[in-house]
A = this chain, B = another copy of it.
Amino acid sequence: MSAENAVQQYIRENGQRFVEELSELLRIPSISAESAHAPDMLRCAEWLCDALLRSGADRAEVMSTDGNPVVYAEKTADPAAPTVLVYGHYDVMPVDPAGEWTNGPFDPVIREGRIWARGANDDKGQSYMHLKAMEAMLATGTLPCNLKFMLEGEEEIGSASLGKWCTEHQELLKADVILVSDTSLLGWKTPSITCGLRGLCYMEIEVTGPNKELHSGLYGGAVANPANVLARLIAALTDEEGRITIPHFYDTVRELTPAEREAFGKAPFCEAAYRKGLGIRSTQGETGYTTMERTGIRPSLDVNGIWSGYTGEGTKTVIPSKACAKISMRLVPDQDYRQIARLFEEYMQALAPAGVSVNVRALHGGYPYLTPTDLPAYRAAAAAVEETFGKEPLPYYSGGSIPIISTFEKVLGLKSVLLGFGLDQDAIHSPNESYALENFYRGIDTIARFHRHFAAILKSHA
């Protein structure tokens, strides 16, 4: 029997037990955002530690961080084989609005071929596939790589402690690549692998004019109005072509190769349905790029909030003393959010008229991330997906940000492959989160195939 068939048979024979184990994991309400659940975080970490040992790990331990613990484990197959570091998270989002759940969010049920609970997909369900893939490969004598696991408890609250913990455990975390299942497929019939994440540069700007609110009749026309000035500053950040006009903003933007762009362009997209879903007559963005490209591979700039002066009912004839805005930019490789923050501030200061003072603060930042599609691990993942889904996966560039992935690259020097099996309908972060058992089983199969392809590709390169 081939390794593939052996693993598939093992999944068929043990799948129901896998789901029962996952249900047990899902019963632990490990909500990282709510301090009342601190004991549940530790309980969940300990449960996973046991599960990793039961699944065949040589070693597993709950390791403390400045925040919630990290579950670390490893399984050495062959010191000469490549090492894959699996990253996942055991913390989950809050359950509000609680009243909208059909079953209790921590009382998992199987219905319509799906498992329903908070974390069913994100990320307990997706992480647990990696434990069961290890078990299946060990049971069938087909584990071709060494495995390490790093399961954190703070992903939903920004992975605040993990960067430092990685820095302190670089030796322990040595590997050839990081494998992550925490993303979605474009569709069941449109398999995809997320290979781009945008970075973030989040700024706040405050324009101060006169030292008090002024009567707009007595002073209007003679004094720079901070709200008018702020509007001009914001308007000056983009041009009619939808490009960002901060000098040197695009200097470090890496363009996709024509082949990468062509592959991404194959992702199915219905502009009319997109517009209808948002209730807009027209999309709008940078000239020369499609809607998917505008969110996936190009930087963007958005006002997230703005406030100044009188905002109540009716009229008040004032010139405000201050005007503020929160403005964030999504970044793409190789933009550095710290440099972009500096360029933003310099540009704003240069444009500010003499009648006001401008204060700019950087509130938050994260690096963009890109998995090159010629990376051996990407090719291994693509080959595995093509086998299990019968179709070559599309490279997908997400507009969102997972800052910890770029932190891994900075701190550990490791690329990540985002091999996720979620679907839009799984409603992660929402009431009635679920995960199809078919995805769960096929994911385990795909993960096992990834390891075989990855080991083979690296061997052929050696």
Contact = CB atoms under 8 A, between A and B. Distances in A.
Contact of A282 (B202, B234, B355, B398): B355
A430 interface: no
Interface in A276-298: 278-286, 291, 294-295, 298
B217 A400 contact: yes
Interface in A207-230: 209-212, 214-225, 227-228, 230
B223 A278 contact: yes
Of the listed residues A216, A225, A305, the one surrounded by the most CB atoms of chain B closer than 10 A to its CB is A216
B221 A295 contact: yes
Contacts of A285: 221-223
A148 to B, nearest CB: 29
Interface in A293-311: 294-295, 298-311
Contact of A210 (B278, B291, B318, B330): B278
A309 B304 CA distance: 6
Contact of A224 (B202, B284, B317): B284
**Contact-residue size bin, chain A (C-beta under 8 Å from the other chain):** 35 or more
Contact of A330 (B214, B216, B354): B216
A364 B217 CA distance: 14
Contacts of A219: 278, 295, 399
Nearest to A237: B228
Nearest to A210: B278
A236 B232 CA distance: 8
Contacts of A99: none
Nearest to A217: B400
Contacts of A282: 224, 353-355
Contacts of A281: 354-355
B278 A215 contact: no
B303 A309 contact: yes
A198 interface: yes
B300 A401 contact: no
A151 interface: no
A328 B303 contact: no
Contacts of A202: 315, 317
Interface string A175-186: 000000000000
A298 B363 contact: no
Given A285-B222, A303-B228, A215 B326 contact: no
Given A209-B280, A231-B231, A295-B222, A216 B328 contact: yes
Contact of A280 (B218, B223, B400): B223
Contacts of A330: 216-217, 220-221
Interface of A: 198, 200, 202, 209-212, 214-225, 227-228, 230-232, 234-238, 242, 278-286, 291, 294-295, 298-312, 314-320, 323-326, 328, 330, 353-356, 363-364, 398-401
25 contacts: A209-B280, A217-B401, A218-B400, A221-B242, A221-B286, A221-B299, A221-B330, A222-B283, A222-B284, A224-B282, A227-B304, A227-B305, A228-B301, A232-B235, A281-B354, A281-B355, A282-B353, A282-B354, A304-B310, A304-B316, A304-B318, A304-B320, A305-B312, A314-B363, A315-B326
